[in-house]
Amino acid sequence: MEKIFLKTDFGKTIDNYEFLGLNKALRMKPSEVLEKVKENCIRGRGGAGFPAGIKWDFVAAEKSEIKFVVCNGDEGEPGTFKDRFLLENLPFKVIEGIIIAGYAVDARYGYIYIRGEYEKAIKSIRESIHKMTERKLLGKSILGSSFGFELKLIRGAGAYVCGDETSLLNSIEGKRGLSRIKPPLPAKEGLYEKPTLVNNVETLSVIAEILKYDQNIYLSLGTPKSRGTKLLSISGDVKNPGVYEIEFGKMSIMQIINDLAGGVKGSGLGFVMPGGIATNIISDEQLDTPYTYEDLEQTGSSLGSGGMIVVSKDRDYLSIVKNISDFFMNETCGTCFPCREGNRNINKMIDKMISDGKVGSQDIEIIREIKQAIGLAARCGFGQASVNSILSILEKYFEKKVYV
């Protein structure tokens, strides 16, 4: 049986990209497209892993003359660059997925928000929107149908927090990228207070891919709780960093590192951040964990944004903790007091650990309490996840030990 892989249309131009998914979708009823998305149990590829079909259902159910689809290409998580790969190399698949989403939820307007530093991706998408508009694949009466869709590109201004969907919506509206209080959810009151569907670049690309096929072969890939394939960004202390695509459940963390990324550089593996710096680390005794949402969650970590960072034994772990803490302290939007002040105080504590040459168990206990406070009070996933890797590294390698 043929397998579905996102990379099958790699490098295609407007002249040889078939838009099969869009063609098939426009011959179906919007409700049928929605059911196919739900049937395939597609989980969001941006980090939270929320089922895409349920989110689409919420937006489709809203009665409004104006609805929006927003493609989140901000991708500010350190170690994550799989969306950049799609934006640069498969722009038509990304845009195709956005249009299909608009058709399914009855939205006629869309935005694609791309991280400002992604110059090549921005150029690729801008040119693709222009070419698709010329070919009547965007605008009025797409492919001769009664459905029309307008798409605009927004360039991000460099705020990590805009990866959060409500902060992203504020940014598109010209406001500061601050997280909103929920409810209302974006599906009810999103962009310009209209029902809005926000999905990740990879999520929409997956949907464009599965709509290509008459038979639902997507259900044969992966596991019941993790369907299909996943693009994985691997970086850090590996011999062959890059973007790889794997079928969920077919490889363990160790197999991914050794068989795809060429193994660990240096004297051996220290630990792995499986989903970016906002996820708990995977240590040596957990390396046989299959790469799925459910298996990584059982370890206490998560698949996150799909950015796997491999760290060798040769690294100074406390320096890594400091770098992570610097990042989160600088990138917090400041809306939530516990997130803003908690990350600032954790950073001060780590500075003191380095200057004193030791990490006390009392220090780690205080950081645990700060993490709990941030997790309970933060509006968005930024704050809720900002201390994950910091605390897990300290607990694993420094609790009740002296740092030298």
CA distance 102 to 121: 22
Per-residue pLDDT tens digits for 20-70: 999 999 999 999 999 988 887 788 787 777 888 889 999 999 999 999 999
One-letter amino acid of 158: G
Write out the CATH class of domain 223-312.
Answer: alpha beta
The reported pTM is 0.91
Average pLDDT (256-277) is: 93
The DSSP-derived string for 167-200 is HHHHHHTTS---PPPSSSPTTTS-GGGS-EEEEE
Residues 6+ positions from 30 with CB-CB distance below 8 Å: 60, 103, 104, 105, 106
The closest alpha carbon to 74, from 204, 235, 199, belongs to 199
CATH architecture of the domain covering 317-397: Up-down Bundle (1.20)
Q: Can you tell me which residue has the tokens 């960072």?
A: 309
Q: What is the pLDDT of residue 106?
A: 96
| For the chain, domain boundaries | 6-220, 223-312, 317-397
3-state DSSP assignment of residue 113: strand
Residue pair 76/36 in contact (Cβ under 8 Å)? The answer is no
Residue pair 179/379 in contact (Cβ under 8 Å)? The answer is yes
Cβ neighbourhood burial of 344 (10 Å; 0-12, 13-18, 19+)? middle
Per-residue pLDDT tens digits for 124-170: 999 999 999 999 999 999 999 999 999 999 998 878 888 888 999 99
CATH superfamily membership of 6-220: NADH-ubiquinone oxidoreductase 51kDa subunit (3.40.50.11540)
Q: What is the pLDDT of residue 2?
A: 40
Per-residue pLDDT tens digits for 93-119: 999 999 999 999 999 999 999 998 999
Q: What is the pLDDT of residue 401?
A: 58
